[in-house]
Structure 1
Amino acid sequence: MDASPDFDFFPPIEPRRTGMLPIDDLHTMYWEECGNPDGIPVVYVHGGPGGGSSPEKRCWYDPDTYRIILFDQRGAFRSTPLAEVERNTTQLLVEDMEALRKMLGIDKWLVTGGSWGTTLSLAYGQTYPDACLGFVLRGIFLGSPDEIDWFLHGMRRFFPKAHDDFISWIPQQEKHDILTAYEKRLFGKDADARMDAARRWFKYTEACSLLRQDPALIEEAVKNDPVVYGTGRLDAFYFRNSMFLEPGSLLRDIGRISHLPVMIIQGGHDVIAPPAAAYSIHRAWPGSVLHIAPDAGHSPAEPGIRSKVIQAIEYFKRNKRFDAAALQASGPV
């Protein structure tokens, strides 16, 4: 099966099998497998951290060629318990991915992901480089203090209305520390207040993700309560703990995976994950291919992002590598 000429989605498919993998005495991780059981293994690493893997992500991959693995990280979407922060760290998520790979009997897989999914993909690859065929990374986020501060404060320069909605309900005496104000409500005893805070956090994220605003799309997204709740609580928890990463470590340790192929797709107008991080990874990674989509923000729903991600995955299935000139010539960007 081939993608359409403009590298649009493959037709919807259902999983061949799904499961719940116990990863400790508290957490159980949802996983699913689609496509060709004998194909090239590929794993999708979702954003958030609490966002979960939507069924739409199955359609990025040719089901005739790829053995497609999706999973929900600890506390996300269909994994249990929902939005649980106990025993939830980047290092444990890395080990969960490795446990899933071993359980499925996969030797090596192509690692693909977006936003926070790029953070976790890089952390996983640097821990288990021999388990990776390569990477397709969209919207690089390195988890630095500057990036976290930008999300909480800086994005108001481009999305003042969304940021005002994000903080206007917080009492004046608490506005000097937005993260603490949100944590107070996201982890308080009042279930309605927890959900309300999560919905406000999630709506802020969605409103700042698109270059071309689509209020209907945003309103539809905030109806998915498990994703909304998991994203709000786990985002804030990971922010408070600096993503459980030593500042600069993902860039510092890029040499552990720099022998592997990577395609980086970045929205030129990405406000949530500004292009500077993608460029820094590209400069540090010899042979990396970077595409800046000039007509896109952060969301993978935007055509300039979606088309290039699918093109990269299509190119890899034939070549097992990435080549900037060939990708530029092989189809629309």
Structure 2
Amino acid sequence: MRRADDPYCAPLAVSADGMLDVGDGHHIYWTDSGAGIPMITCHGGPGGAMMVGAARFTDGHRVRHIMFDQRGCGRSAPRGRLEANSLQHTVADMERLRRHLGIERWIVSGGSWGSTVALAYAEAHPERCLGLFLVSLWLCRKADTDWWFHGVQTLFPELWESFAAMVPEAERGDLRDAYCRRILGDDADVAARLATSLFLYEEGFMHFDAPIAPPDPGRGADYGRIFAHYAAHDFFVDDDTLLRHADRLAAIPVSIITGRYDCCTPPSNAWALARRLPHARLEIVPGAGHYPTEPAFGHAVARAAQDFVGHIERELGR
């Protein structure tokens, strides 16, 4: 039985799935469910995996949900592989998947790192986008990365201190470099320990509401290694690239929603993009953090997603 205040749509079973050979020795896992307007959802990380529950933000009878695990992530193979693994590869993989599924145009969506991927794809292939739905936007600017590795101590001093304590004091002025060198280094034990520390650090400041269960440290080694690979390469984005190319989205409906108290991808990211896109709809949700699975943010994201699908339906004359 569903609660009366449950904002989410009923889940639908996966109707098709598979492994797509995208070259370079990589195969990405994808799923297809629902019917209606195609929508591809990009997962977070880098290093995460598809969140099946994200399909519940929109009605599966109105939306055909396409999801995939990025290179080296989730059920994609080989798991954890860093070679030929970049944002640009992921954008190209999405195009291969679109052609493989015979989709002409789709709504592109994503949250957190997934919003970075979705935005990069839309700027590379605006002609393939019916709309762009971004949750907890992250632009990967230098200021955003500096906040992640250092600025968080403003609100989580004890968490940051534990994170910083994993490396020698002389190296704590650049924790990104200190962590990435060790995680991507030759000492497997040190790499696993630091990767897990990075994962638990992020989990520690992403929640606004107290989590129902603690994070699983067992996910840390794989997640942290891919994250470190991307962080070591500036997430494969020049400092202002995503903002500089925002004019390519002028003809695309765009919705941006973020939590007022998001400590992982602060609202300054969403605000900066919205200023470049006067036609975009921006919503900053009071009493919300990073996770759309938490009550305040979840209700707002579900409502915004369904409204956005309705807007696309009207644009298409459905």
In the superposition, the TM-score normalised over structure 1's length comes to: 0.88
Structure 2 residue ranges without an equivalent (≥5): none
* 3-state SS of 1:320 partner: helix
Q: Identify if the C-alpha distance between structure 1 residues 5 and 318 changes in structure 2 by more than 3 Å, giving closer, same or farther.
A: farther
Q: CA deviation at 1:289?
A: 0.7
What is the CA deviation profile of residues 118-177 of structure 1, one whole-angstrom value per residue up to 9, with x for unaligned ones?
111111001100110101111111111111111111101111122122122323343333
Which letter does structure 2 place at the counterpart of 1:26? G
* 3-state SS of 1:95 partner: helix
* 3-state SS of 1:77 partner: coil
Query: Corresponding residue for 1:121?
Result: 118
Structure 1 residue ranges without an equivalent (≥5): 323-333
- Equivalent residues in 2 for 1:102-181 (5 A)? 102-181=99-178
Q: Identify if the C-alpha distance between structure 1 residues 277 and 23 changes in structure 2 by more than 3 Å, giving closer, same or farther.
A: same
Please say if residues 210 and 296 of structure 1, whose CA atoms lie closer than 8 Å, have aligned partners that are also in contact: no
Which stretch has the larger CA shift, 289-298 or 13-22? 13-22
- Equivalent residues in 2 for 1:162-241 (5 A)? 162-214=159-211, 216-217=212-213, 219=214, 221-223=215-217, 225=219, 228-241=220-233
Q: CA deviation at 1:241?
A: 1.1
Query: Corresponding residue for 2:33?
Result: 34
Q: Identify if the C-alpha distance between structure 1 residues 283 and 105 changes in structure 2 by more than 3 Å, giving closer, same or farther.
A: same
What is the CA deviation profile of residues 51-97 of structure 1, one whole-angstrom value per residue up to 9, with x for unaligned ones?
11122222222111111001011111111122222111111111011
Equivalent-residue separation in structure 1 for 2:153 and 2:161 (angstroms): 8
* 3-state SS of 2:134 partner: strand
CA RMSD for the aligned pairs? 2.0
Please say if residues 44 and 110 of structure 2, whose CA atoms lie closer than 8 Å, have aligned partners that are also in contact: yes
Equivalent-residue separation in structure 1 for 2:277 and 2:181 (angstroms): 40
**Counterpart selection for 2:277 from 267, 280, 285:** 285
Equivalent-residue separation in structure 1 for 2:42 and 2:253 (angstroms): 17
Q: CA deviation at 1:190?
A: 4.2
What is the CA deviation profile of residues 242-262 of structure 1, one whole-angstrom value per residue up to 9, with x for unaligned ones?
111122111111111122111
* 3-state SS of 2:32 partner: strand
Which letter does structure 1 place at the counterpart of 2:22? I
Which letter does structure 1 place at the counterpart of 2:12? I
Which stretch has the larger CA shift, 255-264 or 298-307? 298-307
- Equivalent residues in 2 for 1:295-314 (5 A)? 295-314=287-306
Q: CA deviation at 1:7?
A: 6.2
Equivalent-residue separation in structure 2 for 1:269 and 1:308 (angstroms): 14
Query: Corresponding residue for 1:8?
Result: 7
What is the CA deviation profile of residues 104-131 of structure 1, one whole-angstrom value per residue up to 9, with x for unaligned ones?
0011111111111111111100110011
In the superposition, the TM-score normalised over structure 2's length comes to: 0.92
Query: Corresponding residue for 1:327?
Result: none
Which letter does structure 1 place at the counterpart of 2:55? R
Which letter does structure 2 place at the counterpart of 1:269? Y
* 3-state SS of 2:104 partner: coil
Q: CA deviation at 1:23?
A: 0.7
* 3-state SS of 1:16 partner: strand
Aligned: 1:20 with 2:19: yes
Equivalent-residue separation in structure 1 for 2:48 and 2:25 (angstroms): 19
Equivalent-residue separation in structure 2 for 1:259 and 1:224 (angstroms): 44
Which letter does structure 2 place at the counterpart of 1:297? G
Equivalent-residue separation in structure 2 for 1:6 and 1:254 (angstroms): 37
How many pairs were matched up?
A: 313
What is the CA deviation profile of residues 195-238 of structure 1, one whole-angstrom value per residue up to 9, with x for unaligned ones?
32222111111111112233x53x2x32552xx33431222221
Query: Corresponding residue for 1:47?
Result: 44
Aligned-pair identity (%):
36
